Amino acid sequence: MFSSPPPFDSSPVFSAGLGIDIIDTMANVNLASVVLRNALRTKVGTRQAHDLVAEKIGKREVVGHGWNGMPVYADRVDYPMPAIRFKEPTRDVLALREKEKGDWKKLSVQEKKALYRASFCQTFAEMKYPTGEWKACIGAALIVTSMSLAGMLLLKAFVYEPIPETFDEEHQKAQLKRMLDLNINPIHGVSSKWDYDNNKWK
């Protein structure tokens, strides 16, 4: 059995350990500057990531891990608990959340719905309701097919050369007669199916 590698630790203690290894190999590097630089880099990176997330989600509360570990909202039947709430909190919603900490029997149906809509965009019934998207798919497929047919007809009318005269029935018959007269492929080919004694097909 293989043992899993130890988890990476980005703490200043671990960074100091890396700094000591660097000092051992490079005498001109100052340990204090290495530790300080790593600590600042970690803090700045964390702050930038936090600011980016806060900019994207606004004041919406992060309430869980989510289906991909990112603070995004998505209505999914297979993973019904998004990482963040659907709406930013308002005074009314905050008041309802304080009220819901008590007895739920004191909440009206409308208040329960308002609390639900503050956290979720759709119910399961709304997520499972047919959208009619198949109609758009069939329509797009028919449009592409009709455009292809129109393009083929235009190419045939204005681009392609006319079919050679050797493709008509008279020339085809003459070519077949010539092949039989020359006894082409007498074992398995067309001449093997012709009765030369009676001048007819076998």
* Residue 25 to residues 18, 29, 35, 39, 43, Cα–Cα distance (Å): 11, 9, 16, 21, 27
Domain boundaries along the sequence of the chain: 12-57, 59-128, 135-201
pLDDT number for residue 42 = 53
What pLDDT is stored for residue 23 in this prediction? 42
pLDDT given at position 107: 92
| Architecture of the domain made up of 59-128 | Orthogonal Bundle (1.10)
Q: What is the pLDDT of residues 11-39, one digit of tens each?
A: 444 444 444 444 444 444 444 455 445 55
CATH number given to 135-201 = 1.10.442.10
Percent of the chain with pLDDT strictly greater than 70: 75
- What is residue 154's predicted lDDT score, i.e. its pLDDT? 96
On whether the CB atoms of residues 97 and 86 are closer than 8 A, the answer is no
pLDDT in tens, 85-121: 999 999 999 999 999 999 988 899 999 999 999 999 9
pTM here?
0.47
The pLDDT value recorded for residue 33 is 52
Question: What is the Cα–Cα distance from 198 to 10, expressed in whole angstroms?
Answer: 97
